[in-house]
Amino acid sequence: MELQQEAIESQPPVSLFSDKAEKSLLTRKQQRYTESGYDYKRKDWLNILTLIAGIFVPLIFLIMFFIDVFSRNVFDRIWGWRHLTALFVWFFLLFTALYIVTWL
């Protein structure tokens, strides 16, 4: 039993890449993440989704805010909501803050 354990411990660590050419295609950062078991492709997709949500969602609220202000409260007349412009500003600030926090 001890001999088996020693044999296992004495073996060099197994690399995720068998071919040096394939390993050279990855950047150093991707190699470091891959060797540590980190899924860099998943992280890239999360970054893209965060970027889309962080830019376009506040932008939509900002556009709706300007439509509401310059069309003399068109949303207030359509849905009967009061202070909708303040709601748009609060949502804009909220999503902008969330976007900044997720990128820190």
Give the pLDDT confidence of 28-79 residue by residue, as tens digits. Answer: 666 666 555 555 556 667 777 777 777 787 788 778 777 777 776 666 666 5
pTM of the predicted structure, to 2 decimals:
0.38
Q: What is the chain's mean pLDDT, rounded?
A: 67
* Residue pair 99/58 in contact by the 8 Å Cβ criterion: yes
Residue written as token pair 């893209």: 48
Beta strands in 1-104 (DSSP E): none
pLDDT at residue 19 tops 70: no
The secondary structure of residue 18, as a DSSP letter, is: S
Neighbours of 59 (CB within 10 A): 13
pLDDT of amino acid 44: 67
